[in-house]
Structure 1
């Protein structure tokens, strides 16, 4: 079974230059492919595949443009992977799964450098280091995380807030305990609390803790500081006066990125702990709702809170971890009235409002709204196994 690992690395100065070069060229090729396809479509109403664009780039464009020879300074497979990523984005757009592909920006650091396995010695893993193709040995910040006898299929290197990470895909045997201890559970994902389980376990919203709120306040201050530097830079260029420089702005950008990364790490770690706790129970099945996250975000009053919760990420991790441990994942329809349905008599309370935190039924049943929803998910008869 294939498994992905991601960890932080400590590259040397020369290795950083090589990583930046590969990421920069990959970003340029990706954007060039989008722009070229956009231009071709406006003229001929046709679409250029990734393979055809790669042939045209290497056989016609680069040989006829001497100022573009620097594209060949990195691995050809890295540039080809960037083209394939662009083609994948276009195909998703044509299928209606996503919007029109957007150009990659340097400041977002959302491009990864792909390093292929060209020979047997590439992507060799040891306890404290990993050998990356064309770069060489690179030290890991976490020792013994990946089994040294693992077979690495491919890998990428990315940069985030002045930190460098390696992501590798490994072929390994994942051993799991097939013995199931408890009965099935239903999980209601929400905003007030992240997850409410039918067995009584409740996971609070980490975004309401003082630690996260303190970091968010710090983020606001640093973002205002960055905004003032941009304004100072504009005035300086206009009036030829001293003020904020590009170097100072870049330093402030890195500060903001580091705070964003810290918040991401806290929320991601919390989701991992939630999934781990649920899997440890070893239920026969787990029932969840088919949440339309993209539609929920359209609510301007709740969009920010929903994005902070990372519900889609939590759902995907729960499904993946459950499959590894042979736990059945059941998914009910998004139209299933889990919150409005009485778990005792089965009647539906159509006038239930979002502000009603306690479910009160005519039959005398009174219980917490989210807990009642988790009971209904556990007892659902119509579901889809995913």
Structure 2
């Protein structure tokens, strides 16, 4: 039985010829057009309380190509057009699963110019990549080598606002293997005005942090913060962006999947900062400007280290019984600081 390998994306700069640039420009435009047409059709159906799936939009695409107005869709490879319909399906799946907002239309000026090709629409031989509808291979700057014997599954081509071309190659990487199991676990507090704080007492920069966390710990407990909603608050937007919490979480999740680790998300309303990690008593208030505090039990805490310890403890406890936590809206004095709710386990 063949070992299962991790898929990784390798991104490179490339320099298209005039003919390739023209072909890509047509493809980017067609991808955007098909996405918007399908989104409009699904939105109209949604208004009638009817759901439209990928297969139905694929049939619509066949019909659009037969009209005089949209006949130009036949001039580019059909694969990127089918792929954008698949991406739209994923967007709706996330919307219905309450993991994302309603899909938005693509703008000619603001949206990312990109196209995705699967194996039937590209050829990769002897280190040269040729896309469908192109006579010559792309002039790619191989800034780092692909894994030995890499078999590409998808190729994504994009262009940034400055007109620079990039190609992202998705392939299996045999060098990434699950790590030996370890009993270590760690909790992470999301700092809004500084870098993340660990339950071990360290504030750590993002660079290489995720790799170290995954290598050293079997279980990583984080807060399930609604970063997108919080960024709407102008006073917090810059701090959250600087802390790069959403990026940290995303990288942790896919590296944990690579190496056989577990990421547990604790409910965002758990009072990690207001709960004493020593005695369990709950403070009524803990303003953001308060960085250290002394509990009634006599323990003095660094706010963020205390929060990270609580996040770790409740994540591990909830992991045992398969439930997460939410705070009770009660005052201190012996009453429970939490109640059970379904725990979120990240893939």
Kept in 1, the 8 Å contact 2:6–2:258? The answer is no
Tell me the secondary structure at the aligned position of residue 285 of structure 2.
coil
Kept in 1, the 8 Å contact 2:193–2:243? The answer is no
User: How many residue pairs are counted as aligned between the two chains?
Assistant: 313
The question of 1:150 aligning with 2:150 is answered yes
Structure 1 pair 109/12, CA: closer, same or farther in 2 (3 Å)?
A: farther
From 97, 111, 114, the counterpart of 1:112:
114
Relative to total residues, which structure has the larger helix share, 1 or 2? 1
Match of 1:329 in 2: 263
- 1:6-33 deviations in Å (ceiling 9; x for gaps): 3122222322222111111110111122
CA distance in 2, matches of 1:48, 1:375: 46
Deviation at 1:47, TM superposition (A): 4.5
Match of 1:34 in 2: 39
Structure 1 pair 102/85, CA: closer, same or farther in 2 (3 Å)?
A: same
Deviation at 1:328, TM superposition (A): 3.2
Tell me the secondary structure at the aligned position of residue 137 of structure 1.
coil
Kept in 2, the 8 Å contact 1:93–1:99? The answer is yes
CA distance in 2, matches of 1:13, 1:110: 21
Tell me the secondary structure at the aligned position of residue 119 of structure 2.
coil
Match of 1:314 in 2: 248
Tell me the secondary structure at the aligned position of residue 284 of structure 2.
coil
CA distance in 1, matches of 2:153, 2:67: 35
From 54, 57, 81, the counterpart of 2:58:
54
Structure 1 pair 318/94, CA: closer, same or farther in 2 (3 Å)?
A: closer
Counterparts of residues 107-256 of structure 1 (less than 5 Å): 107-118=109-120, 122-124=123-125, 126=127, 129-135=128-134, 136-161=136-161, 162-176=163-177, 178-179=179-180, 183-203=184-204
Instruction: Give unpaired runs (5+ residues) of structure 1.
Output: 205-270
TM-score with structure 1 setting the length:
0.71
Deviation at 1:338, TM superposition (A): 1.7
Deviation at 1:275, TM superposition (A): 1.2
Task: Provide the aligned C-alpha RMSD in A.
Answer: 2.8
Deviation at 1:76, TM superposition (A): 1.4
Counterparts of residues 227-306 of structure 1 (less than 5 Å): 271=206, 273-280=208-215, 282-306=216-240
